[in-house]
Amino acid sequence: MSIAVAAPVINPHEAVKKVTTIATLPEVTAKIIATVENPKSSAQELHKIVSHDPALVTRILKVVNSAFYGLPGQIGSIERAIVLLGLNAVKNIAVAASLGQLFRGAKLSDTFSAKDLWRHCIAVGVASRDLAKQMKLPMAEEAFLAGMIHDMGILVSMQLWPEQIRAVCDRASHAIGASDAATFCEMEREMIGADHQQLGLALAEQWKFPQACQLVAGNHHNPSALGGQSRLLVSVVYAADTICCQSKHGFNLTAINQKLDSAGLDDVKIDRALIERTAANLDELVEVASSVLG
């Protein structure tokens, strides 16, 4: 399956190798992804891996027992969570619970901080999940994870080129509402040599994320570049990202001028009514998710 990204000036894979604090996914998280992606894996295998990290178990159960899932009664074990939610959902919760640790760092400028970026990623994750559920897609939990990781390429720029990404953010903040302004990705390519999609794709490949998540990381600002079924999840995240940026949940500069009517969303059955319902639910969804993931 091809991934439609323009050739960068710098090599994203080489850049990712230079990153010290985020280039390696936590070992337990990598094992969880590998286990669930293996069709022969069982719930018992996932439970065995997760149980070796008591802090992660606590974070997972905190999410499972939150209003985000609305399960009846208190869930006291990972085994029970897997029974009720399924392997894929628990995998995504585990990954989300560990990723939050990576979004730490000082505020780079008035327009950008890692904390605001994490809040935005949470918002896009829950909005993607909500859209997928409304559309009755069998990928709501996958949409949640894909939305959570869509902007992680910015973490690479934060560490390798802090001055440049700060300049990109400052420039983008002054271009809000300008019809002829360059996109955030165009500014990144001009000022850094690669955009966060290209860097995020390299990171997702290194972490061996599912192919669908790799597609989202590398194409979430340009879903129309993809065809067939590949485009569906990317379009869901594109719509969620646009909603969240316009609603100002956390860092909102990457898609602030992005248009919902210019990405062929009708082709994948994402209409205005769906978008408006998700936007109406967004504040509550983000508040609940942020309380357990933030």
Look up the CATH number of the domain holding residue 187.
Answer: 1.10.3210.10
For the chain, what is the domain count?
1
Residue 75 covered by a domain: no
Residue 48 covered by a domain: no
- Per-residue pLDDT reduced to its tens digit, 172-193: 999 887 777 899 999 999 999 9
Q: What percent of the chain has pLDDT over 90?
A: 44
- Per-residue pLDDT reduced to its tens digit, 62-108: 888 988 888 888 999 988 888 888 888 888 888 887 788 778 776 77
- Residue by residue, DSSP assigns 35-89 as HHHSTT--HHHHHHHHTT-HHHHHHHHHHHTSTTT--SS----HHHHHHHH-HHH
Question: What pLDDT score does 2 carry?
Answer: 42
Residue 47 covered by a domain: no
Report, as ranges of residue numbers, the positions in the chain whose pLDDT lies below 70: 1-8, 23, 106, 262-263
C-alpha span between 284 and 189 (Å, rounded): 35
Residue 87 covered by a domain: no
| Contact present, 97 and 144 (Cβ < 8 Å) | no
Residue 81 covered by a domain: no
Range of the domain at 194: 12-23+105-293
Burial grade of 181 (CB within 10 A; 0-12, 13-18, 19 or more): middle
Residue 152 covered by a domain: yes
Question: What pLDDT score does 192 carry?
Answer: 95
Question: What pLDDT score does 106 carry?
Answer: 66
What residues contact 2, with CB distance under 8 A and at least 6 apart?
none
Residue 68 covered by a domain: no
Residue 63 covered by a domain: no
